[in-house]
Amino acid sequence: MMSKYLEINPIVANGLKNNTPVVALESTIISHGMPYPQNMETALKVEEIVRKNGAIPATIAILDGKFKVGLAADEIEHLGKSGQQIVKASRRDIPYLISQQIDGATTVASTMIAANLAGIKVFATGGIGGVHRGASTTFDISADLQELASTDVAVVCAGFKSILDLGLTLEYLETHGVSVLGYQTKELPAFYTRKSGFEVDYQLDTPAEVAGFLHTKWEMQLHGGVVIANPIPEKYQLDYDVITKTINDAIIDAEINKIKGKESTPFLLAKVKELTGGKSLDANIQLVYNNAALAARIAVAYAGG
């Protein structure tokens, strides 16, 4: 029955069958993250980095009425050229898009769902959604967090998007039993910067240690995901004070323009890009590359048992 809704690229399927390391990759960054052709070039580069570090890349999207796990180059190009015409697909959107055969770019939540259905345990992305600032009145909380609470996939990221309320995001994850691991750091990275003022739950320093953590968690039937917070390389990070002010200015602009719900994150990220003269996009690309490399090394260690 599941094959009706899930199509796994033969290379990915063969890898999973033979316990070859596989890394899931999302597609929202392609259609909504940056303009064409930079989005396509970045996506293909991320796949190349995963391969160079010993794993098989599996970029995921909803195409032709199915979850497709492991996109071909022409499918990535389709997403890149179509851009924001492609629906941004989270958990709630999946049955509608698939039943209506509407193409969708997967978010963190929906990529986790597809990866779990396919049997992929490690997923690389840029940053994770979370509790938005002002959520005490708006109740604006990303579906990514609830997915992390229930789906057995490890997510390698550069922390949570710094436009969010990081403290409340950590509290939410703690309540739902989701561990936030810092890769070679005790401080939670905040996407564009290595600093945040918050601590992760545990620091682990090697892919083998992370893989051991994942095996222990899931072998004990402690269901749910894990956040592996991997700081942006120091030479690419943005100045903490500058990016903090920039984000605050962007949030004020969003409030003035009454931007809410699922439109808030793309609006804020676009505004931050504008206010930083494109430096935030450059940083975003570099942190995704960094996360892809680490995710592949963790997948290799995990496959090795």
Query: What is the set of active-site residues?
Result: 26, 161
Helices in 123-239 by DSSP H: which ranges? 135-138, 143-150, 166-175, 207-219
CA distance 127 to 291: 10
CA distance 226 to 214: 8
CA atoms within 13 A on the CB side of 251: 13
Question: Which tokens in the block code for residue 290?
Answer: 């960094």
Question: Which tokens in the block code for residue 68?
Answer: 């497709």
6: left (phi over 0), alpha (psi -120 to 50) or beta: beta
Residue corresponding to tokens 């690419």: 236
Give all strands (DSSP E) within 165-205, no chain letters.
Answer: 180-183, 202-204
